[in-house]
Amino acid sequence: MEAELEHKYEVEVKAAEKMQRLTGAVKEELKDAGVVDEKGKLKIKGVSPKMLKKMKSEYVDCPVLGADTQFVRCFVCSNFQSRVRGTVLCKGNDL
């Protein structure tokens, strides 16, 4: 039997009408996390290009930032625990 991950929030993943563009600040944050290559292309190890395209059109209402946030940003956040059936488990620590 698996032990449940410790988390503070369960956040629902929502689908947007169309793919959202990453802002400059978010791109810099992703570069610091090491998921954007030199050409500015988003590449996350272990995530297929097809899944990455789907992730770009999803967002969450982030309880830590208090605003809607693109799922890609949530995925690379230090508070991200897991995504299960359209729900993200978030640690809820300050950033």
Residue 2 belongs to some domain of the structure: no
Q: Using the CB atoms, write b or e for 53-79: b if 16+ within 10 Å.
A: eebbebbbebebeeeebbbbbbbbbeb
Residue 70's domain spans which residues?
Answer: 9-90
Beta-carbon-side half-sphere exposure of residue 14 (alpha carbons within 13 Å): 11
Number of domains into which the chain is organized: 1
Average pLDDT over residues 63-88: 89
The per-residue pLDDT of the chain, averaged, comes to 84
What is the model's pTM? Answer: 0.78
Residue 28 belongs to some domain of the structure: yes
Residue 29 belongs to some domain of the structure: yes
User: 17-57 pLDDT, tens per residue?
Assistant: 877 777 777 778 788 877 877 777 888 888 888 988 888 89
Residue 3 belongs to some domain of the structure: no
Res. 60: pLDDT tops 50: yes
Phi/psi at 44 (5° precision): -110, 125
Residue 49 belongs to some domain of the structure: yes
